[in-house]
A and B are shown apart, each in its own frame.
Chain A
Amino acid sequence: MSAELTVLLTAIFAASACALVGTFLVVRRMAMMADAISHAILPGLVFAYFLANGPNLVAGVFGASLAGLATVALVEALQRTGRVKSDAAIGIVFPAMFALGTFAVSKWFSNVHLDADAILFGEIAFAPFDRLIIAGRDIGSQPLIVLAVLSLLNLVLVLLFYKEVKLATFDAGLAASLGFSPVLIHYGLMSAVSVTTVGAFAAVGAILVVALMIVPAATAYLLTDRLDLMIVYSVVCGVVSAIAGYYLAIELDVSISGMMAVTMGGLFAVAALFSPSYGIVARARRRAVQRERFSVDLLLLHLGHHPTGDESVAHLAAELDWPRARLQRAIRQAGAAGSVAIVGERVRLTPDGQDAVHAIAQRLSPS
């Protein structure tokens, strides 16, 4: 397999594995927990490598996952004391774990080959050269195999427990009353996040793992209301960013992981601005439409209160105290709908307009 293909496939599997669990983090409002876990695995990794006498894959996964779960448990214990809020609890635990890890590396285990840079950035370009060797035989690129397995594992987990996790996410009370322990599901999800982080960070770096978990899922959350579609969208979004980021990075000769994060950021920005349902532009336009409809309604009601049902434009502007443009737009729209007619200098309610006034009044009356 060519080096380029290995890197690309590694990136694609990293994106899918992360997006699968990330979706649940985003809908459960626990995105920052991924950030915390990704940093807090350092001490687990350090101690595991120390015990295993070197960078051992199995020991690393085991130690780091334990550290991830310990972080989750510590954050919750701290919150339960009621002495600090949840964000402060996260912000106390993960820097402490990271500091402990860095401290341990420099104090006792400087022979363990590990430095903070490598953990934070990773370097996916090295993926082809990191070989998985079992019983003396070269099986293939280790990051690629690890991430392919993780993607498959996460996919199976999502397919198996989709219903349960969905229920526990959106109605924890009902889930608990039906016998699905929200605590168990929470820790199950957190285990999946920890294991995925551990498996992915060596290839792509801790920060990109967090990016792959959160950003595509956040993008998907802006595009759909359905959880199953959201999972699909976020996987697609992660994979597309991984591929585009890779080629952009090669073109510009910059960090591949960094460029993938930037590409994801670009997709997110597009979704945040232009999503048909939840985009900022669509929202602003909906608001503008509502404002105009409200102006028209107000104009009609106002005219309806005049005994003659008509009024000069100048007087209307004074009575409603509107800017000229707003009044003119409202008159034009009401005219287009056939509710008012311009007679000379005066705006007059048509019979259709009278009906409209009744309808509006009915709608607004509280009974």
Chain B
Amino acid sequence: MLPGILRDVIFDYTLRNVALGSALLGIVGGVLGTFAVLRRQGLLGDALAHAALPGICLAYMLANSKAPLVLMIGAAISGWIGTLLILRIVEDTRLSEDTALGVILTVFFGLGIVLLTYIQHSNDANQAGLDKYLFGQAATLVQEHVITMAAVGSIALALVAVFFKEFKLLSFDPEFAASIGFPVRGLNVLLTSSIVIAVVIGLQTVGVVLMAAMLIGPAAAARQWTNRLGVMLALSGFFGAASGVVGAMISVTGSRLPTGPLVVLCVTAIVIVSILFAPERGVVWDSLRRRSNRRAILEQGQQP
């Protein structure tokens, strides 16, 4: 069965696109998610994904086109505006970050739904499928989507490659970065914009709700295996890509199984295994160590 699937991944048009799309999302989400998780901004991805919706609708209304690039640009712009508003609310008011995230997430999403129903009620036959961006439908990915995702995703990855040193410093010690003269604010915007790109790529594949998992899951899993950022980035990208491909393959073999949820369940499985069994940090080793320590102490106590 397996070689048959592998052949299909290479030669079957639909499966190839779905697998490639999910893998791309996994890599980009995993790499950018690493920074999001390290900076404790994991849920920003969730808020961003929701905030992208009004942009998708507006882009469609203005350009009257469903070309992936047009919708992605719209999504990116409104996701980006949402992020800036969140940062401003945290900076300028007394509200905590999670409240700011919640406010922007729900209000932008509400606006998106208003626009979506407006488009639908204007009896525009061409609009069908816009809501695919909400829940993701990997099965609808065509070659054009995959190519656009690859092009946009490589921009995000290139940014990480070029600014690796800066992003690393920003993630671990922003005060130090500022004190030695790094343009912290600019770098912050740059890094956040890259995360926006990762989210936008994922919308059509896994949808708004599950996007958070694609950013957080692979990175949280990778964190358990290493203390080095470079290794963590590579592992996280690998975990993301592997979940993407495996999820896509399972969804095609089983009938009527949606790809997005399967990909996310694969990510979750990797997270659970990593937290339990990763060398050094695994929870299981921890409790075994504790048990043997306790036994050793008890034995010592019994000796006179």
Residues in chain A within 8 A of chain B (CB atoms): 26, 29-32, 34-35, 39, 78, 81, 83-85, 87-88, 90-92, 94-96, 98-100, 102-103, 106-107, 110, 116-117, 120-121, 207-208, 210-211, 213-215, 217-218, 221-222, 249, 252-255, 257-262, 264-265, 268, 272, 278, 280, 283
Residue of A nearest to B104 (CB): A265
State whether A99 and B41 are in contact (beta carbons under 8 Å apart), knowing that A117-B135, A258-B111, A261-B111 are contacts in the complex. no
The answer to whether B99 touches A29 (Cβ under 8 A) is yes
Best-buried of B115, B116, B271 by chain A (most CB within 10 Å): B271
Tell me how far the C-beta of A355 lies from the nearest C-beta in chain B, rounded to whole angstroms.
Answer: 37
The answer to whether B114 touches A91 (Cβ under 8 A) is no
Contacts of A214 in B (CB 8 A): 99, 102-103, 106
For the complex, is B55 an interface residue (Cβ under 8 Å from A)?
no
The answer to whether A121 touches B113 (Cβ under 8 A) is yes
State whether A261 and B107 are in contact (beta carbons under 8 Å apart), knowing that A92-B268, A272-B93 are contacts in the complex. yes
CB-contacts of B105-140 with A (<8 A): 105-118, 121, 131, 134-135
State whether A264 and B107 are in contact (beta carbons under 8 Å apart), knowing that A83-B224, A283-B92 are contacts in the complex. yes
State whether A215 and B107 are in contact (beta carbons under 8 Å apart), knowing that A103-B265, A222-B94 are contacts in the complex. yes
Q: How many A-B residue pairs have CB under 8 A?
A: 211
Task: Report the contact-size class of chain B (Cβ under 8 Å from the partner).
Answer: 35 or more
Chain B interface helix/strand/loop/mixed: helix
Contacts of B216 in A (CB 8 A): 87-88, 91-92
The answer to whether B114 touches A259 (Cβ under 8 A) is yes
Contacts of A210 in B (CB 8 A): 102, 105-106
The answer to whether B254 touches A99 (Cβ under 8 A) is no
The answer to whether A278 touches B261 (Cβ under 8 A) is no
Tell me how far the C-beta of A77 lies from the nearest C-beta in chain B, rounded to whole angstroms.
Answer: 10
The answer to whether A255 touches B103 (Cβ under 8 A) is no
Contacts of A265 in B (CB 8 A): 103, 106-108, 110-111
The answer to whether A103 touches B110 (Cβ under 8 A) is no
Tell me how far the C-beta of A230 lies from the nearest C-beta in chain B, rounded to whole angstroms.
Answer: 12
For the complex, give the distance between the alpha carbons of A217 and B264 in Å: 32
Tell me how far the C-beta of A313 lies from the nearest C-beta in chain B, rounded to whole angstroms.
Answer: 36
Tell me how far the C-beta of A358 lies from the nearest C-beta in chain B, rounded to whole angstroms.
Answer: 37
The answer to whether B107 touches A96 (Cβ under 8 A) is no
For the complex, give the distance between the alpha carbons of A217 and B69 in Å: 37
Contacts of A94 in B (CB 8 A): 212
Which 7 A-B pairs give the minimum distances between C-beta atoms? Answer: A261-B110, A265-B107, A258-B113, A95-B213, A211-B106, A99-B261, A91-B216
Best-buried of B43, B211, B262, B275 by chain A (most CB within 10 Å): B43
State whether A253 and B121 are in contact (beta carbons under 8 Å apart), knowing that A117-B131, A117-B135 are contacts in the complex. yes
The answer to whether B209 touches A32 (Cβ under 8 A) is no
Tell me how far the C-beta of B21 lies from the nearest C-beta in chain A, rounded to whole angstroms.
Answer: 17
Tell me how far the C-beta of A231 lies from the nearest C-beta in chain B, rounded to whole angstroms.
Answer: 16
